Amino acid sequence: MKTLTTLNWTIIGLYGILAIYLLIVSNGPNSDPAGKGMMGGLVLILLIFAGLLVFLNLRESRTAIISAAVLGGLPLLLVGTNLIHEGIVTARNEKELSDQEVNHEPYYTANTSVADSDSAAATQTVLDFLQWYKTNLSLISQINLVNQEPGNVYSVNERNTERYLIYLRSSEFLTDHYLNEWETFFRERQAGFEASPQNEGPPTGFEYDLVMLTQDVDMQMDSLNQLKINSTTVHQDKASVQFFLLEDYEFRLVKQHNRWLINEILNLSAE
């Protein structure tokens, strides 16, 4: 029983560390009031739960000590199992994406003849990025960029916008300029919410997918094999790829360190 009691104290310590971590996060500079309230409630529940475990573990009853081990260990076991599962799924997805990049096998083929290697490389960058975006769209779409708590005015979720840009950066197909433009956009939209408070309807500026600049992005990604390249033009270290994917697009690229990167995305049908 001494070993089990020691294990229980270790579990209780883990819950205490988790409570302290949540308190630090909830009082961070990017925490919104709703998030602080939610975190505070979770910390309170953790402390009550940890107190129950302490009470059971201090009793000399064998049943109480075993109950503390089961009650305290089961949530940790479930969380650990879930994290391992998510890690396996993430690793599998990254491997599939890596295999596609290594083999350079596009999900679809352009139906135009490419005049030179720069044109081919610029076009392939666009195709590879669209394939990456299709693969990761479901995860990216789960990042809530705007706080929309009932009864509160909308505000930009700074932490999630940072996550969003980090995720896009991980594709390695976008320039810093492209990502910095969206960072500026998020700051401007926060200023807009402060100047003109909004608490209902779609948040202004976020009514569409920010990458493809359309509300039909899911349909577009499902139709990716029907993409039609209209033209690819290259001038020194700049390139333009125009294509049709339910709507007309122009991707403008720049060459950096001998690689073509996407610097600007235009939805020509929406202009």
Instruction: Looking at the structure, tell me whether residues 54 and 150 fall in a common domain.
Output: no
Instruction: Looking at the structure, tell me whether residues 159 and 25 fall in a common domain.
Output: no
Mean pLDDT of 18-29: 71
Question: Which of 27, 52, 86 corresponds to the end of one domain?
Answer: 86
| Residue 201's CATH number | 3.10.450.50
Confidence of residue 13 (pLDDT cuts 50, 70, 90): confident
Nearest partner of 218 among 138, 107, 155, judged by Cα: 138
Instruction: Looking at the structure, tell me whether residues 52 and 177 fall in a common domain.
Output: no
Dist. CA 131–CA 146, nearest whole Å: 26
Confidence of residue 114 (pLDDT cuts 50, 70, 90): very low
Q: Is residue 246 a contact partner of residue 254, using CB atoms and an 8 Å limit?
A: no
Q: Which residues pair with 209 in a beta bridge?
A: 214
Instruction: Looking at the structure, tell me whether residues 81 and 110 fall in a common domain.
Output: no
Judge whether residue 110 has pLDDT over 60: no
Do the domain assignments include residue 92?
no
Enumerate the H helices of the chain as residue ranges: 2-26, 33-58, 62-103, 117-141, 158-169, 176-195, 217-222
Q: What is the pLDDT of residue 21?
A: 75
Nearest partner of 51 among 63, 68, 36, judged by Cα: 68
Mean pLDDT of 57-72: 76
Do the domain assignments include residue 248?
yes
Instruction: Looking at the structure, tell me whether residues 113 and 73 fall in a common domain.
Output: no
Q: Average pLDDT over the chain, rounded to whole?
A: 83
Overall number of domains in the chain? 2
Q: What is the domain extent for residue 64?
A: 2-86
Do the domain assignments include residue 96?
no
Q: What is the pLDDT of residue 115?
A: 47
Do the domain assignments include residue 71?
yes
Judge whether residue 91 has pLDDT over 60: yes
Instruction: Looking at the structure, tell me whether residues 71 and 137 fall in a common domain.
Output: no
Mean pLDDT of 35-50: 74
Do the domain assignments include residue 189?
yes
Instruction: Looking at the structure, tell me whether residues 69 and 152 fall in a common domain.
Output: no
Judge whether residue 24 has pLDDT over 90: no
Q: What is the pLDDT of residue 146?
A: 95
Instruction: Looking at the structure, tell me whether residues 127 and 200 fall in a common domain.
Output: yes
Do the domain assignments include residue 97?
no
For residue range 78-88, list pLDDT tens digits in order: 766 766 766 67
Instruction: Looking at the structure, tell me whether residues 15 and 80 fall in a common domain.
Output: yes
Q: Which residues pair with 228 in a beta bridge?
A: 244
pLDDT higher for 197 or 47? Answer: 197
Confidence of residue 212 (pLDDT cuts 50, 70, 90): very high
Range with the poorest average pLDDT among 41-50, 92-101, 136-145, 173-182: 92-101
Question: Which of 29, 58, 86 corresponds to the end of one domain?
Answer: 86
Dist. CA 151–CA 158, nearest whole Å: 20
What are 53's two structure tokens?
């475990």
Instruction: Looking at the structure, tell me whether residues 166 and 259 fall in a common domain.
Output: yes
Instruction: Looking at the structure, tell me whether residues 136 and 240 fall in a common domain.
Output: yes
Dist. CA 246–CA 108, nearest whole Å: 15
Instruction: Looking at the structure, tell me whether residues 81 and 111 fall in a common domain.
Output: no
Q: What is the pLDDT of residue 97?
A: 46
For residue range 227-252, list pLDDT tens digits in order: 999 999 999 999 999 999 999 999 99
Judge whether residue 93 has pLDDT over 80: no
pTM over 0.85: no
Do the domain assignments include residue 100?
no
